[in-house]
Amino acid sequence: MKLAIAGKGGAGKTTIASMIARTWAKDGYEVLAIDADPDSDLPFALGLDYDSAPKISEMRALIKERTGGAFFRLDPEVNDILDKYSVRKGNLRLLVLGAIQGADKGCACPENAFLKALLRHIVLSDNQRVIVDFEAGIEHLGRGASSGIDVMLIVVEPIMTSVNSYRRIRKLAEELGIKKIFALGNKARDESDREFLSENIPEDEILMVIPFSQELEEASRVYSEELPMAEVWQELAGI
């Protein structure tokens, strides 16, 4: 399975991505977690050192070699990337796309062509899973970086701006040919929040609704590399 996590900023994408990745790893799967958000937080959430993780976006020579520079090819060679440029913790591996290098430095088009090719070319066995934490919003869909995904989970808060974002993301994901797209309700404080989601999103599109937790919110203030967010959240959630 190649699973993508998308949604509006602040909806809880990285929280969900880190918990799914760690749960899969705990269950014995070989997991590749890809942080495709330029504002990268997934390494911290997984308890991996961000500074020690190679960043694809910083490897200018590699990108130029594989994508052809300014006039980049859409299908760069990616077969050796996972072994060379991911970091491992047990049976969990992390690949970081990386951030734009500075203000007024241009788009990340070659990097996203690279990611697109990677997702298309990875062939998985029954014991392997890929999870991608995309940047907030819809730009990654416009660039086609989400193609090659089997399932997309769109994290939705019980507010109209988040619902509207869900609708836009879903429409673009369908245009890319992604067949399985679900809303994952998050931060529901009471029954009225659940009713709001069910009134604005068709029932067959809502995978589940996760309740708001004050304990989980407070845990996000105290995590460290030794006590990753996902581990704190999983313990509090009873996973």
The two most distant CA atoms of the chain are separated, in Å, by 54
Rounded average pLDDT over 214-230: 65
Average pLDDT, the chain: 78
User: Is the predicted pLDDT of residue 85 greater than 80, yes or no?
Assistant: no
pLDDT at residue 232 greater than cutoff 70: no
Average pLDDT value for residue range 65-92: 66
CA distances to 22, 24, 83, 181 from 91, in Å = 10, 9, 13, 27
Task: Name 52's Cβ contacts closer than 8 Å, sequence gap at least 6.
Answer: 87
Virtual torsion, Cα 134, 139, 145, 146, nearest 10 deg? 60
- Confidence bin at 37 (pLDDT 50/70/90): confident
Contacts for 10 with CB less than 8 Å, ≥ 6 apart = 136, 157
User: 2-237 — its CATH code?
Assistant: 3.40.50.300
- 9-18, 111-120, 180-189, 224-233: which has the minimum mean pLDDT? 224-233
Q: Where are the domains of the chain?
A: 2-237
- pLDDT per residue over 89-122, tens digit each? 889 988 887 654 443 444 556 666 666 666 666 6
Token duo for residue 10: 């602040």
Can you give the pLDDT at residue 102? 43
pLDDT tens string 39-67: 778 887 887 766 666 666 666 566 666 65
- pLDDT band at 151; cut points 50, 70, 90: very high
Pick the residue with more confidence: 27 or 232? Answer: 27
